[in-house]
């Protein structure tokens, strides 16, 4: 005799479906209670699956996240040589700034803070120029453009945040605009130099490090002071050598 597996009603032979439950009939029913146990087990399995989906996500979601993370790692690896150049510019500038800021000649706290910013930025301008000068000797035009497009916002943004991180956004934007303008002017200024170091005229010559020394000395209120300029020369040359720009640019050329 056929039975309904849900309401357990017995039907006469020939009936195929329960009229109340609208489910197919079966030839025999399991002992009382076993069907409920099976239902509970099925419910547990479904519930457990839902629980673990919440914890780990479904396979498609996990795959997408894995792809995103893999892409992020690949991008990070690809940009590493460019980040290293940006970091070297910031480190060199910070080292020179901290080594020479004691020469700032003013007792006014606010004026001193302002001059510290100008001195730090002057080193930023200089080492940015030295980086691009090195790039011009190793990279093609398209690579140089890409390097500039990457470095400029990274270096300028870091330079501004060093002193102005908590300033209002509109003021920070104004400062960044000024820094970009000064960066372009400094690039033209330093590009006019024909040599890196002048042994005959270390402070008055047309060499790159001579011009930097004069600029920093003037910003600190010590225009043409040989002691200040000697310090600037000493620390900036040391920082430049430590940057190993040729190696950094060579590595960056592979990802540009």
The beta-carbon contacts of 129-135 under 8 Å, at least 24 apart in sequence, are 129/186, 129/187, 129/190, 129/191, 129/208, 130/208, 130/240, 130/243, 130/245, 131/85, 131/88, 131/89, 131/245, 131/249, 132/187, 133/191, 134/245, 134/246, 134/249, 135/249
Rounded distance, CA 188 to CA 214, Å? 16
β-sheet bridge partners, residue 10: 3
Rounded distance, CA 134 to CA 212, Å? 17
Q: What are the φ and ψ backbone dihedral angles of 194, each rounded to 5 degrees? A: -95, -15
Residues of the chain with pLDDT under 50: 34, 36-49, 51-52, 54-55
pLDDT of residue 126: 97
pLDDT of residue 217: 96
Q: Which residues touch 128 (CB under 8 Å, ≥6 apart)?
A: 89, 151, 155, 183, 186, 187
pLDDT of residue 58: 56
pLDDT digits (tens, 9 = 90+) for 129-184: 999 999 999 999 999 999 999 999 989 998 898 888 888 889 888 989 999 999 99
Q: Which residues touch 160 (CB under 8 Å, ≥6 apart)?
A: 172, 175, 176, 179
Q: What are the φ and ψ backbone dihedral angles of 140, each rounded to 5 degrees? A: -85, 175
- What b-and-e string marks burial along 60-97, b requiring 16 or more CB atoms within 10 Å of the CB? eeeeeeeeeeeeeeeeeeeeebbebbbebbbebbbbbb
Count CB atoms within 10 A of the CB of residue 201.
10
pLDDT of residue 50: 52
The alpha carbon of 111 is separated from its chain's Cα centroid by a whole number of angstroms, namely 32
Rounded distance, CA 112 to CA 157, Å? 22
Alpha helices (H) in the chain, listed in sequence order: 34-56, 59-100, 109-136, 141-164, 169-191, 208-219, 226-243, 245-252
Rounded distance, CA 188 to CA 123, Å? 15
pLDDT of residue 41: 43
C-beta of residue 173 within 8 angstroms of C-beta of residue 164: no
β-sheet bridge partners, residue 195: 207
Q: Which residues touch 111 (CB under 8 Å, ≥6 apart)?
A: none
pLDDT of residue 63: 59
pLDDT of residue 45: 47
pLDDT of residue 165: 83
């Amino acid at each position: 005799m056929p039975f309904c597996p849900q309401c357990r009603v017995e039907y006469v032979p020939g009936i195929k479906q329960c009229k109340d439950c609208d489910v197919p009939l079966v030839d025999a029913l399991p002992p009382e209670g076993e069907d409920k146990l099976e239902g509970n087990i099925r419910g547990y399995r479904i519930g457990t699956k839902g629980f673990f989906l919440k914890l780990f996500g479904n396979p498609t979601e996990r795959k997408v996240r894995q792809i995103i993370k893999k892409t992020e790692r690949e991008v990070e690896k690809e940009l590493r040589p460019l980040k290293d150049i940006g970091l070297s510019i910031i480190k060199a500038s910070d080292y020179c700034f901290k080594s020479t800021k004691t020469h700032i000649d003013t007792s006014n706290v606010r004026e001193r803070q302002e001059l510290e910013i100008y001195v730090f930025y002057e080193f930023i301008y200089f080492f940015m120029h030295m980086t691009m000068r090195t790039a011009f000797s190793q990279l093609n035009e398209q690579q140089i453009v890409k390097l500039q497009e990457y470095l400029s916002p990274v270096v300028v943004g870091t330079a501004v945040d060093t002193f102005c991180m908590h300033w209002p956004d509109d003021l920070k934007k104004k400062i960044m605009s000024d820094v970009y303008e000064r960066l372009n002017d400094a690039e033209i200024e330093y590009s006019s130099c024909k040599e890196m170091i002048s042994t005959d005229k270390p402070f008055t010559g047309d060499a790159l490090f001579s011009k930097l020394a004069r600029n920093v000395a003037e910003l600190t209120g010590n225009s043409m002071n040989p002691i200040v300029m000697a310090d600037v020369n000493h620390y900036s040359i040391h920082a430049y050598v430590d940057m190993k720009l040729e190696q950094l640019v060579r590595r960056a050329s592979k990802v540009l």
